[in-house]
Structure formats: C-alpha cells, structure tokens
Structure 1
Amino acid sequence: MEQQENGKIAVTQEEAPAIRRSKRQTCMRHCKKFWWLHLLIFICVTVLVVCLIIFVGVKNIAQSKINDAQLQVQSIVVTNTQSNQYTMKIDSTITTDGSQHATIDAFDGVMYLEDKPGHVPFATVHFPQTDSSAFQVVNVTQETPVTDMQAFTDFNTWLLANETLRVTVEGQTSIHVRGISHAYGVTFKKTITMPGLQSFNGTTVTDTKISITPQDDGNNFRGMANIPNRSIVTFEIGNATFFNYLNGEDIGTVYINNILLKPGVNSFPMVANITQLPVLQAIRKQPACQTGILDFQLRGKDVVNHGQHLTYYSDALASVNQTVPIDIKTPLEAIPIPVSCSSS
C-alpha cells in the first residue's frame, strides 16, 4: 500500500497470517513427496522377511523335523573281518511324522560311544539318500576300514562287558524342501541304546570228554561250547584261543574255531590242552566232588581270521574273565576214573 506524506510516498506491506497445517495434512504431504522412499523401505523389509523365512525359518523347521525323527537299528552284521577292515551290514528304519515333503541327501555319519569321553568315531556309515516318508527302511552294506584301532577295540570291549550301551550316529547333510530350490544344511544326530553281550554270561559246555593221554592234535579235553549272544550284532570272529584258569591258576589253553556269533545261543565245538593234575585235585574237594561241577575262568588270548590277527577282538576278549561251570565228574567216570570226596 502506498501513502503520500509531505510530498513523499511511503510503501508499506501487510502479510497474511501463516496457515497451520494439521498432522494429517503434513503426513499426506510427506508421503506424497517421498512415496518412492517408503516403497523402497517396504520392498527391503519384505525381501528381508522372506529371506529370513526361507533361510532361517525353513532351516529351523527342517532341523526340528530331523531331530524328531526316530532311528531304530534292527541288526548289525560284521563279516569278512580282517586286521584293518571288515564288511558291515546295518538294517535300520527311520520314522517321521510324514508332514513335510523333503529329500535328505546321502551323507557320511560317524559312530561313537556316547558315554565314553572324547566321542572318537569307531566307524563311518555311508547313509543313502532318503525322503521324509513316515516310515522308511534304510539298509546299508559297506566295506569299513578300521580308521581308529583303539576306538574300535573300545566299542567291542564295551559291547562285550555291558548289559546295554549307547551309540551315537552323527553327520552333516542337506535337506531339499519341495517347492524351494535352496538346500538347507542340517545335522543328523541320533543316539541308540543297544543290548550288550554281558560278558557271555550263561555260557555252558556240554558233551564233555576227557582223554588221559593227549590225542593227535595235542588236546586232552573236548566239548560243545554254547555261547549266548544277547546283542543285535552278528560277529565273524574266526578262530579264538583262551587262557584257562582254575582257582586262579593257568592250567592250559582253550580253542574254539570258526566262530560266527549270531544273536541267540550259538554252539561250537571246543578243544583244550589242560594240565590235568589241578583238575583231578579240585574235583575231589567239596562241593565239586558231589556236584561234579568245576568253575573255570576263560580269558581271551588271541583271535585269528583269514590268517590275520584281529586285535580289536582279542583285546576285548582279554578284558574280562568269564566264569564257565563245566561238568568234570561225568567224563572222568566214563574213562573210568571214579570221583570221590577226599577226607582232607
């Protein structure tokens, strides 16, 4: 506005008061101006969430399904035993809930004693490719090298001495979920409880025969050894020799050949070269002179199969003394040598 005063023109300006926008208007104006930024953030968050679901969520679900699966071993057969390798056949089943459609890659799983510190593998099993069926049979037959002699010996020793033992199978593999191209790395780890041999407790010797003079093979005792195998493992042991003790005294050697020990009771011919004087003295003492039974202790000495020494068996058999009651009175009286209780 112009004003004239004393011949001078003065110019003045009046400003309209500023219009205050509401928060909603401000937000809409911001979104209208920076819509591209919000879209970019939304896309990034969406991609991140999808990636987390695919690479973390699905992986965790897959690992959880592997953890929930049940591994059951029906039998283990160890044959063609040599000093540094053997053939192993494992018959097993895997049970799942069957709710997921997936394929598990073939993988190598190590086996170790769960309750022995160090978890040193005694064998490696080559598991084939499997799927997520609710029930699946998994049978494996393979040549297995002895990669750690002490670990394999420990396994055989624990299997021999214990009523039960826990064995863990563990390996790394990948799982492929139907509809997703990505493969997820997972850990397969299962611990199974196996029945042990309980030191062959319950072994008996029947059909015993005693010779006063050694026969052509140098042995003077024969019988049939009946050995129980309470485990699920079949062993090809071969030819085994044992120290034979009576009342703590080493009285000779026992030989059992061609041992293939299957689950159940196994019978094998046995022969022995025994120093007879300690036996004749012991059988005349109470209570043996009445029962006719003497308790002998057997301890592993050597195992040979296919001309090779199997220390992983012989050391295991040497770790325990097994007491075996044997009828001595009957074969002595058949010679005949009468058995009576001594007065002293």
Structure 2
Amino acid sequence: MEKGNTEFVNGESVRLSKRQKVGRHCRRFWWLHLIIFIAVTLVIVLPVVYVGYPNIAQHDINKSSLNVTAQSTTDPAPDSMTLNLTSSLVTHSSYHPTLRAFNATVYLPDSDIPLYSFATPEIGTASSGVEEHIFQRVQLPNPDEFARFSVIVAQNETVTLYVKGKGGLKLGALPETHVTYNTPSTISGLNGLKELVVTNFTLLKTAYSNGTNAVGTIAINNPSVLTLAMGDVTQNQFVDGIQISNSTLPNFTLLPGNNTYPIYFTTNETATLQVLKKPQYQCGLLNVDIKTNASIYNGQEIPYFTQALQSATLTTELNLAPALNQAGLGFVLGKGCSS
C-alpha cells in the first residue's frame, strides 16, 4: 500500500479517499495556504490601490472643469488686486472624493507665464455643481501678461483659463493619493461692451471749477459675471476724427447686467460747432467714438484696466438737440431741427 494514501485508525490501516487526502493536506499545511492566499491577494489588491486608484483619480481630475459663476476685482493696484471668486465644479465621475487644499496658479491657454496664484480651500465632496469660494489678495507677478488677459476678456464673449497645481485626493478608506491639476476654467467676457448709451445729456449754465461744462448718464450692459472696480475712468469723444469732448466716470465699478453711471464732460464748443455744420449732423444726432485715456485708482494708473478699455471699440449715438434747445442754443442746429 502506498505511503501517504493510508491512515491508521484503531490500529488498522485504512485507505484514504481523495477528499480525505485533501482535508489532511489542508490540516497539515494550512499555514502554507494562508501565505499563498495573502500573497495572491496582495498581488491583486496592491496594484489596484497604488496604481489603478491613482490613475482613475487622475483621469477624473483631467476630465473635470470649472465654470466661473461670479468674480470681482476690487482695490486694484498695478501689481496686485483683491480677488473674490465663485466657481462651480463640472465632473461626470461617479466618485466623489475629498480634494485637499492646494496652491493654484492660473494661466492663459497658450502661455506658460502665470497670471496669478491663490490658495484653494478643501472640497469635502467633489461632486458636479459643488462651489468653490476664493477671497484673497493676489499678486500679479507678470503685469504685461495680466494686461494681455484683460484685453482678451474685454474683447471676447467667453474666455478659457487653466488652473494648475498639485494636491491631495482622498476617497473613503483608500489611502490618500496626489493628483496634478491642469483644469480648464471658463469665464464670460465683456464682449466689447457693445451696448453703451449716453442719456440725459445736459449743458451746464455754469462750469465746474475742474472745467466740467456738461453732465449726463451712461448706460452700459455688462454681459459677464465680472465686477471690476476701475476707479476714475477718463475718456475722449470723437466725431469723424474730431475731438468734441473729454469725460470722466468717477469711482467707476462695472457690475454685471444693465447699469447706469453719472458721466461728466468738458466739451470743446468750437469743435462741436464745427461738427454740427456737417449736413449729416446738423440736427444734433452724432455718431460718437469713445477712446479711453486711463483708469486711475487711488492715484495710480491701473494699466491692465486702461489697456482693456482702450482695446474695446466703444461707440454710441449722442443727441445734442434737447440739450442745445434747453440751453437756448437751438439756433445752431439746421433749419427744421430746432424744435
């Protein structure tokens, strides 16, 4: 009888069945099977935890984006500003991890020159629609690049930026992993500030000490979600290349939506009369081009706001007839236009 296939029971040799032999083997070598089981489990689980899980996390981060729902720039300086930003996360991932706080840097899509950096807060549950709020003083390390960005915002309907950085990600009981952010962020732009209207234009009987001799109201539609504190904005007005006035928008803060602001003019009466002699303008309805001189905040020019406004082609119609008639100057209008 083969050794290992029998067992002595009550002093007699008994041939073992296959199941009994397996059972005896397991009893004798349980420790070996346990080691093999643990080893196989680790071979399967460790790559999933330390390779598959980080790869899935990075993939989902790569597929996510940010939608800016509100942004304000206040207390501007040539090399800094106060940023108040609200953005909404867009993701289609079925996982909702915790995103640790990290230092984010913002870039234009075609550039490796940073616009500004800020500290992001931790997001407890990174699901689609969750909002992130930033309220910080940020430095502008490259003012020329930020001015270029401001011009792009002024001219376009939408603008895409990229938020870059590295931060931790934690999902449930799994170990924390690290991901790299290169996340697109979409923000609505000013689209050229195309809707601009001057109303309530009035000639003053007595000029102010600073030379202001006319006042009015300017209505501006801001199609973006941006609030921009620009300070005192000075501009020149032209008709067919002839400068007829300069103006100031004091303490000007551009708000989202439709807004009205007081505007103060110093008109060049000689140039205005020259324009009114042209047949197309004899009734006082002028096609006016507006060119920005500067944005001044706390006594300092803010170059990125100046350049943004200068890049926009601002035009409006200005009807001088009511103001001229009210001031008793209707006689300068053409025949049939004074009433």
Q: Please give the range of the TM-score, normalised by the shorter of the 2 chains.
A: 0.7 to 0.9
Taking only aligned residues, the RMSD between alpha carbons, in angstroms, comes to: 2.8
Question: 1:113: Cα distance to partner?
Answer: 2.3
Match of 2:220 in 1: 227
SS in 2 for 1:256: strand
- Spell out the pairing of 1:1-344 with structure 2 (5 A cutoff): 47-96=42-91, 99-100=94-95, 102-114=97-109, 117-134=110-127, 135-181=129-175, 183-211=176-204, 214-290=207-283, 292-337=284-329, 338-341=331-334
Q: Which amino acid aligns with 1:237?
A: M
Instruction: Determine helix, strand or coil for the equivalent of 1:217.
Output: coil
Indicate the SS of the match to 1:318: helix
Deviation at 1:329, TM superposition (A): 1.6
Could you report, residue by residue, the CA deviation over 1:198-250 in whole angstroms, capped at 9, with x for unpaired residues? 22111111111124774322122211111221111101111111122221133
The one-letter amino acid of 1:327's match is N
Shift of the alpha carbon at 1:105? 1.1
Name the CA distance, whole Å, in 2 between partners of 1:247 and 1:229.
Answer: 27
- Give the distance between the partners of 1:40 and 1:133, measured in 2 at CA: 39
Return the offset for 1:112: 2.2
Aligned AA (1:102) = P
* Range with bigger deviation, 241-250 or 130-139: 130-139
2:243·2:271 contact (CA, 8 Å) conserved in 1? no
**Offset at residue 73 of structure 1 (A):** 1.8
Secondary structure in structure 1 of the residue aligned to 2:192: helix
Bigger Rg, structure 1 or 2:
1
Distance 1:211 1:230 in 2: 33
Q: Deviations over 1:152-204 (max 9, x none)?
A: 111211111122222222221121222223x3221223323322212211111
Measured after TM superposition, the shift of residue 76 of structure 1 is 0.3
Compute the TM-score of the two structures, normalised by the length of structure 2: 0.80
Task: State the 1:75 CA deviation.
Answer: 0.3
What count of residue pairs does the alignment treat as equivalent? 303
**How many Å separate the matches in 2 of 1:96 and 1:195?**
20
8 Å contact kept, 2:289–2:314: yes
1:136 is matched by which residue type in structure 2?
A: V
> Aligned partners of 2:213 and 2:125: how far apart in 1?
60
| TM-score, normalisation: structure 1 | 0.79
Q: State the SS of the aligned residue for 2:76.
A: coil
Give the Å deviation of 1:126.
1.6
Distance 1:49 1:237 in 2: 60
2:5 alignment counterpart: none
Q: Give the secondary structure class of the aligned counterpart of 1:208.
A: strand
Structure 2: give runs of 5+ residues left out of the alignment.
Answer: 1-33
Identity rate of aligned residues, in percent?
26
Q: CA deviation at 1:267?
A: 1.4
Contact 1:283–1:328 (CA<8 Å) still a contact in 2?
A: no
Distance 1:101 1:277, change over 3 A: closer
- Which residue identity lines up with residue 109 of structure 1 in the other structure? A
Question: For 2:265, what is the secondary structure of its paired residue?
Answer: strand
The 8 Å contact of residues 167 and 178 in structure 2, kept in 1 or not, is answered as: yes
Partner SS, residue 72 of structure 2: strand
1:92 partner letter = S
Deviation string for 1:93-120 (max 9, x for gaps)? 2254574353211012222222xx3242
Give ranges in structure 1 of 5+ residues lacking alignment. 1-38
Matched residues in 2 for 1:314 and 1:197: separation?
Answer: 14
